[in-house]
Structure 1
Amino acid sequence: MRDFHKPHRSSVFAQDAMVATSHPIGSKIALDIIAKGGNAMDAAISAAIVLGLCEPQMTGLGGDCFVLFTPPNSNEIKAMNGSGHAPAGLSAAKLRADGHDTIPLRDASAVTIPGAVDAFARLSKDWGQLPWDVLLQPSMHYAEHGIPVAPRVAFDWAEGLEALQGSARDQFLKGGEVYKTGELFRDPRQLKLLRHLAEHGRDGFYTGAVAEEMVATLNAAGGTHTMDDFASTQCDYTQPISGTYGDLEVVEHPPNGHGATAILMMNMMKRFDIKSMDPFGAERVHIEAEIAKLAYDARNRFIADTGTPTDYLLSQDTADRLCDLIDPKQAMADPKAISEAVHKDTIYITVVDKNRMSVSLIYSVFHGFGSGIATPNYGVLFQNRGAGFTLEEGHPNEAAGGKRPMHTIIPGIVKKAGRVLMPFGVMGGAYQPNGHARLISNMVDFDMSVQNAIDAPRSFADKGTLKVERGYSDDVRNELTGLGHTVDVPDTPIGGAQAIVLHDNGVLEGGSDPRKDGCALGI
C-alpha cells in the first residue's frame, strides 16, 4: 500500500471502460468516443490521431504504428503491423558510395513510407463501430482551436528544436521559438489534411493531392520516393509471438519490431534469483544491465523485416548460453552495436471497453520531430524510421527498397492462465524491451501494483553508458561504478508507460506514467 504522506499517483479503477494515454486530452477523447457508441478500437485510433497534435514531437500521421488487440469478449490476440516500407529507390550501396556509414537522421533517405494512416483506416473498417470521419472530428477541433502545451511536451519540444527544417519550422515554431508550457498550439495545415482524410479516407493520403505533395517535398530534399511507393503501401495482420515469466504469458509483436528482445531478456532473467534482490538496489540494476547488453546485441545482429531467426531468439537455450557470459561482480565491455540509430520518441495508448475488447497501440515518428521534414500545405511531418536500417553490406537489416527497417516500438499484452490480463506498453525507443522486462519483473518478482510498477525508478545500459534515474540513491550509483559501469544520470527520464489490468471481478485498473503528462481515466 502506498504511503499517502508522500507524493505519488494512485491506480485508477472503473468497471465499464478504461483508457490510459500520455496526455489528458488523449485520454478524455478516448472516453468521449466510447460514450458516442464506439468501441476500444475506435477510441484508440481517435486518441492516437489527436496525440499527434498534443505531442507533435513524438508522433503524427507521417509516422508508423504497431497494434495488438483482442476481439470483443475474446482472449485471442491479433497483431497489426502498421510500419511502412522504404521507397523502391533506396540503395545502401549508393549511400555508402556517397560517404555515409549510417543513414543520416534528418535526410529524406531516412524517410520510409508512413504506415499509420493505412493501419488506422484498415483497423477502423475491420474492427471499429463508428464512421471514420467521426474518429477524426476531435483532431480537427484541436487543430483549429488549439491545444495548451503540456510541461513534458514543452521540455521535449525544446529538445527536438534542431531537427526542424524548411516549412516544418514555420509549422512547429512560434515566431522562430519553441512553444512553452501553457501556450496554445494550433495547426491549420494539419486541419486541412484531417478534413481531406475525413472526406477521402485512406486513399486521400496515399494517392491524389496529398501524396503528390509528399513526393514532391521528399524529392526536393533528395529522396527517391514515387507515387507508386505511396499507392502500394499496405499494412499487414501478423502472428504475435510470446514468452513466459513467472505465471504470466507476455505477448509481443513479431519482427520487424523488436519485441523478441523483451522475451529474450525475460528468459535470461529466469536464470537469476531476481526476487531475492533489493528491487531498487545495485545488484538488480547490474544484472539487468548485463542482460540488456547481450540481448540488444542479439537484436542488432538478427532482427530485420524478413528472415529473422525468431525461434532462436525466443529459445531458452539461447538465453541460457548468453547468461553464461555474465559476471555478477563485473560489468562487461559493451558488445559491438550494429544497429545504426535508436532514440526515445513515441506515444502509447491502451483501451479496454465494456465488451473487454483490449487494444495496445504504439505510434511514433522515431526521433524527436522525426526527419524534421514536413510538407508545406498539408503539414505531414515525416518520420525517420529508415535510420533503423544498417548500411553494413550483407546484414539482414541492410537498407534496401521495399524493405521495412527494424523498429523500436512494441505494444504488449499479458495473459494469465489463457485469459487476457493486461494490455501495456513502455515508451522510450531502444529502452522498450528493457522496459517491458522491468515492468513485468516489478509485478511478478516484487508484487507491485501496476501503478507502482510504472512509477519505480529505471536504469538502462545504452551504448556503453549505464543510465540511472534520480530515483536511485547515490549509494547505488557508487556501487555500480565500483562494478565497472560508466554511470550517468540522464537529463530526460527513461521512457514512459501505460497499462490496464483486467481483474477477475470485472474491475479495470489503469496506470499511467508520471514521467509524462498523461493519465488513466475510467467510467
Structure 2
Amino acid sequence: MRDFHKAGRSEVLATGGMCATSHPLAAKVALDILQRGGNAMDAAIAGAVLLGICEPQMTGLGGDCFALYNRAGEQTVRALNGSGRAAAVANAQVLRDRGLTTVPLTSPDAVTIPGAVEAFCRLAKTEGRLGLETILQPAIHYAEAGVPVAPRVAFDWKNSATTLKGAARDHYLIDGKPLQTGQIFRAPGQAEALRRVAQYGPEAFYTGEIAEDMLAALSQLGGVQTARDFETTQSNETLPVGGDYGGIELVEHPPNGQGATAILLLNILKHFDLAAMDPRGAERVHIEAEASKLAYDARNRFIADPDYSTRMTHFLAPETAAGLAALIDPSRAMPAAGPLTETVHKDTVYITVVDRDRMAVSLIYSIYHGFGSGIASEKFGILLQNRGAGFNLEPGHPNELAGGKRPMHTIIPGMLRSNGRIMMPFGVMGGAYQPTGHARLVSNLTDFGLELQEAVDAPRAFSDGGILKLERGYSADIRQQLTEMGHTIQHSETPLGGAQAIRICETGVLEGASDPRKDGCALGY
C-alpha cells in the first residue's frame, strides 16, 4: 500500500469498464461510449481520435496506429498494423545523391502516407458495435467547440512549435505563438474532415478533396506522393510476438514496430538477478542500461518492414539473448553498441480500454516527432507525420527507404498474459524509450512486486546514444555511482515516457493506472 502522506495517486478500481489515457476528456469520452452500449474498440477509437484534438502535437489524422486487442470471451491477442507506406516512387539513392545520410525530419521525404484513419474505420467495422457516426461525434464536437490546452500539452507545444511551417502555423499557432495552458484550441477543418469520414468512410479521407488538400501541401514542397499512394492505403491483420518473463507473457505488435525489442531486452535481463537489487539503485539502472544498448543495437540491425526482414526467429531466440547478456560487465559501462536511430522524445498518444465483457484494447497513435513533419494541409489543417524518418539510407539495409515500404516504427502497444489469460493491456509512450519502458514496467511488477500505480510512477533511466538519461527521482549518490561505472549522465528535462495500464484482476475488478508525467487519468464505472 502506498504511503498516503506522500504526493501521488491511487489505482482506479471499477468493474463495469475502464479507460486509461493521457487526457481526461478522452478518458471521459471512452467511458461515455461504453455506457452507451459500445464495446472497448468503439471507446478506444473515439478516445484516440479525440486525443488528436486534445494533443495535436502528439498525434492526429495524418498519423499511424498499431492495435492489440481480443474479442469478448476470447484470450487470443489479435494485432492490426495501421502504419502507412512510403510513396511508391520513394528512393534512398535519390537522397544519397543529394548528399544526405538521414531522411530530413521536416521534409516531404519524411512523410509516409497516413494509415490510422483507414485502420480506425476497419476496426470500427469489424470489431465495433456503434458505427463511425457515433464514435467520431465527440471528436467532431470538440474540434469545433475547442479544447482548453492542458499543462503538459502546453509544455510540448512550446518545445515543438518551431517545426510548424506554412499553413501549419495558421492552424496550430495563435498570432504566431504556441498555445499556452488554458487557451482554447479549435480545429474546424478537422471537424469537417471527420464529419465526412463518419458519413462516407475511409474513401472520404483517401480520395477527393481531403486527399487533394494533403497532396497539394506536399507537392508544393517537392513531395513525390501521388493520389494513387493515398487510394491504396490499407491496414493489415498480423500475428503478435511474445516472450515470457517471471511467469508473465509479454505480447507485442510485430515488426515493423519495435515491440520485439522489449522482449529481447527482457530475455537479456533474465540472466541477472534483478529481484535481489534495489529497484531504485545504481546496479539495476546499470544492468538495464547495458542490456538496452545491446537490444537496441539488434533492433537497428534487424527490425524493418516484415516483407524485407526475416530475422525475428533469431532475434527472439534464447541463445541470442544469452550471447548478448554475456557481453555485459556488471560493474562497468560499455560504449554505446551502435547509434540509436531515434532520440527519445517522439510524440505519441496511447489509450487502453477494457469493457464489461472483458474485451481489451491496447492502441497507440502517433505523428512521430512534435507536430510531425510540420507540414499541414491548407484547408483541413491535417498535420502530416514524419514517420519516414524511421527509415535509414544505408544501401541494402532491411530498413532502407524504398517505395511502398513501411519504416521501422517506435510506437508499440503491449499486453500481458498470465496462464493464457489476458491480464493487462498497457503502453509506455516515449519514442525509442518504449521498449525499455515496457521492460521496466514488467520488471517493476514481477521482480519488485510494486503496485501498478507505483510501478508507473517509479523514476526512469534510459541509455540513449551513449548518454544515460536520468529522471530527477534518482539521488546524487546514485548518479555518482553510475558516473564511476563509466556512464555519461544527463538529467532529462522532459520526463521519460508516459504509461497507461489496466489490470484485469481474477476477482473481476479492473485496476487502472495513469502516468503523472502526462495530463491524463484512468476512469472506470
Q: TM-score range by the shorter chain?
A: over 0.9
User: For the residues of structure 1 that align with 2:70 and 2:412, how far apart are their CA atoms?
Assistant: 16
**1:257 shift after superposition:** 0.3
**1:339 shift after superposition:** 3.0
The aligned residue for residue 76 of structure 2 is 76
| Partner deviation per Cα, 1:123-158 (whole Å, 9 max, x = no partner) | 000000002011111111111111010000000000
Letter in 2 for 1:145: A
The aligned residue for residue 283 of structure 1 is 283
**Contact 1:408–1:432 (CA<8 Å) still a contact in 2?**
yes
189-198 or 503-512, which deviates more? 189-198
**Contact 1:86–1:111 (CA<8 Å) still a contact in 2?**
yes
The aligned residue for residue 351 of structure 1 is 353
User: For the residues of structure 2 that align with 1:13 and 1:296, how far apart are their CA atoms?
Assistant: 36
Letter in 2 for 1:323: A
The aligned residue for residue 146 of structure 2 is 146
**1:344 shift after superposition:** 2.2
Counterparts in 2 of 1:389-408, with a 5 A limit? 389-408=391-410
User: For the residues of structure 2 that align with 1:63 and 1:209, how far apart are their CA atoms?
Assistant: 18
1:327 to 308, 326, 329: 329
The aligned residue for residue 360 of structure 1 is 362
Letter in 2 for 1:353: D
Letter in 1 for 2:346: K
Counterparts in 2 of 1:369-388, with a 5 A limit? 369-388=371-390
**Contact 1:340–1:390 (CA<8 Å) still a contact in 2?**
no
The aligned residue for residue 218 of structure 2 is 218
**Contact 2:342–2:432 (CA<8 Å) still a contact in 1?**
no
| Partner deviation per Cα, 1:182-216 (whole Å, 9 max, x = no partner) | 11111112122112212221100111111111112
1:494 to 491, 496, 499: 496
Aligned residues: percent identity?
Answer: 60
User: For the residues of structure 2 that align with 1:336 and 1:29, how far apart are their CA atoms?
Assistant: 43
User: For the residues of structure 2 that align with 1:444 and 1:336, how far apart are their CA atoms?
Assistant: 29
| Partner deviation per Cα, 1:44-63 (whole Å, 9 max, x = no partner) | 00000000000000000100
> Stretches of 4+ moved more than 6 A in 1?
none
The aligned residue for residue 516 of structure 1 is 518
The aligned residue for residue 194 of structure 1 is 194
User: For the residues of structure 2 that align with 1:33 and 1:368, how far apart are their CA atoms?
Assistant: 29
| Partner deviation per Cα, 1:371-405 (whole Å, 9 max, x = no partner) | 00000101110000000000011111000000000
The aligned residue for residue 22 of structure 2 is 22
User: For the residues of structure 1 that align with 2:28 and 2:119, how far apart are their CA atoms?
Assistant: 22
The aligned residue for residue 233 of structure 1 is 233
Name structure 1 gaps, 5 residues minimum.
none
**Contact 2:20–2:514 (CA<8 Å) still a contact in 1?**
yes
452-461 or 336-345, which deviates more? 336-345
1:431 to 430, 433, 456: 433
**1:341 shift after superposition:** 6.3
| Partner deviation per Cα, 1:422-451 (whole Å, 9 max, x = no partner) | 000000000000000000000000101111
**Contact 2:344–2:430 (CA<8 Å) still a contact in 1?**
no
Letter in 1 for 2:399: N
Letter in 2 for 1:98: R
**Contact 1:338–1:390 (CA<8 Å) still a contact in 2?**
no
The aligned residue for residue 416 of structure 2 is 414
The aligned residue for residue 57 of structure 2 is 57
The aligned residue for residue 129 of structure 2 is 129
User: For the residues of structure 2 that align with 1:341 and 1:82, how far apart are their CA atoms?
Assistant: 23
**Contact 2:344–2:464 (CA<8 Å) still a contact in 1?**
no
**1:342 shift after superposition:** 5.9
Residue 52 (structure 2) pairs with residue 43 (structure 1): no
User: For the residues of structure 1 that align with 2:367 and 2:90, how far apart are their CA atoms?
Assistant: 19
Q: Secondary structure at the match of 2:330?
A: coil
Letter in 1 for 2:410: T
| Partner deviation per Cα, 1:30-52 (whole Å, 9 max, x = no partner) | 00111111100000000000000
The aligned residue for residue 311 of structure 1 is 313
User: For the residues of structure 2 that align with 1:297 and 1:342, how far apart are their CA atoms?
Assistant: 15
Letter in 1 for 2:494: T
User: For the residues of structure 1 that align with 2:119 and 2:296, how far apart are their CA atoms?
Assistant: 28
Letter in 2 for 1:59: T
Q: Secondary structure at the match of 2:399?
A: coil
**Contact 1:193–1:379 (CA<8 Å) still a contact in 2?**
no
User: For the residues of structure 2 that align with 1:487 and 1:245, how far apart are their CA atoms?
Assistant: 29
Counterparts in 2 of 1:99-138, with a 5 A limit? 99-138=99-138
**1:340 shift after superposition:** 6.1
TM-score of the aligned structures, taking structure 2 as reference length: 0.99
Q: Secondary structure at the match of 2:291?
A: helix
TM-score of the aligned structures, taking structure 1 as reference length: 0.99
User: For the residues of structure 1 that align with 2:463 and 2:344, how far apart are their CA atoms?
Assistant: 13
**Contact 1:118–1:233 (CA<8 Å) still a contact in 2?**
yes
Q: State the Cα RMSD in Å.
A: 0.9
304-313 or 156-165, which deviates more? 304-313
